Amino acid sequence: MPRPNLGLNLKSIVPPVGVLPYRLRDNTSVMYCLENDMPAPINPGARWVAKILRLRKRLGLNQSEFADRLDYSSMALSRWESGTHEPTSRAYLQMGNLAQGEESTWFWTRAGMNTADLSRMFPEGPQEKADFPDFEIVISGLGKKRRARRIKTRLVALPVLGVHVGTRGAPGDQVLDFDQAEVSEMIAAPARWCPNPAMTSGLTVRGTAMSPLIHDSDIVVVDHSQHHATDLNGQIIVAWNRTSGLTLSRYVMMEGLRLLESENRDYKPISVGRDRNWRIIGKVLWWIRKPQ
């Protein structure tokens, strides 16, 4: 099952200060390998070790559990915690989603996010003492004005990939390896909107067959871990086909049939029950529309 790319585009980011190059005890330099999944060996006294150990301890997870949350192997985590290898940018981004406050900022910065990236995610600036910024919610209603109340919301950083998902009549991209897809921008969302943040990413819609519910150029947020057909009846999903690429539809199971339906009834449903060329990529959690 392909996994969404939750790191930044490794080909375009610049390594954080102090990463390139490192000098080992024998006075030789080892360059940081941006395009490798696992960078080259470096100083075992690396400063990320304490950060990772502190985060795992705070979450109350053992190595296997923590590695699973990050969607990496226990061996990879062991190398990071021993300081022999540095985590990838994608791993840093996911750790930032699990962390809080300054700790999140440290992981995201290490992943390659700059001040401008963080400013877009948090217009009021990262909070040093609070876990995440407080948002003031004004409760509207008729009659007397109601007093606003403050709630604390934990945010996760979600990548919007440079990938298009088509609707009927509009072809989608032929992408299955989301790890290699470029990240076009980042958005911040409440953690409760993203039950599996390590497996969630945004895709841009192409076409109008899902109107009036979902429009052309909307961004759909997809949970790639939810891809079991029996759990998705009636849900909007992203599926893939060798001919049409990524496709946005409503998945319907009815009288033994499995159909992909468009919101626009001018398009007939597609029967996928016996067609092995169709593959479910994930469930659409929610979608957003950019201002015109």
Averaged pLDDT for residues 182-204: 88
pTM of the prediction? 0.55
Helix (H) or strand (E) holding 111: none
Task: Answer for the pair 35, 89: CB distance below 8 angstroms, yes or no.
Answer: no
Please report the pLDDT score of residue 272 as a whole number.
Answer: 86
CATH of 22-121, one of 1.10.260.40, 3.40.50.1980, 3.20.20.100, 1.10.1060.10: 1.10.260.40
Beta strands in 191-266 (DSSP E): 200-206, 219-223, 236-241, 245-254, 257-261
The span from the CA of 189 to the CA of 17, in Å, is 28
> 225-266: per-residue pLDDT in tens?
898 888 999 999 999 988 899 999 999 998 888 999 999 989
> 28-38: per-residue pLDDT in tens?
333 333 333 34
Q: Which residues pair with 211 in a beta bridge?
A: none
Q: Mapping DSSP to helix (H, G, I), strand (E, B) and coil, where does residue 70 land?
A: helix
The span from the CA of 269 to the CA of 265, in Å, is 9
- The CATH code belonging to domain 155-288 is 2.10.109.10
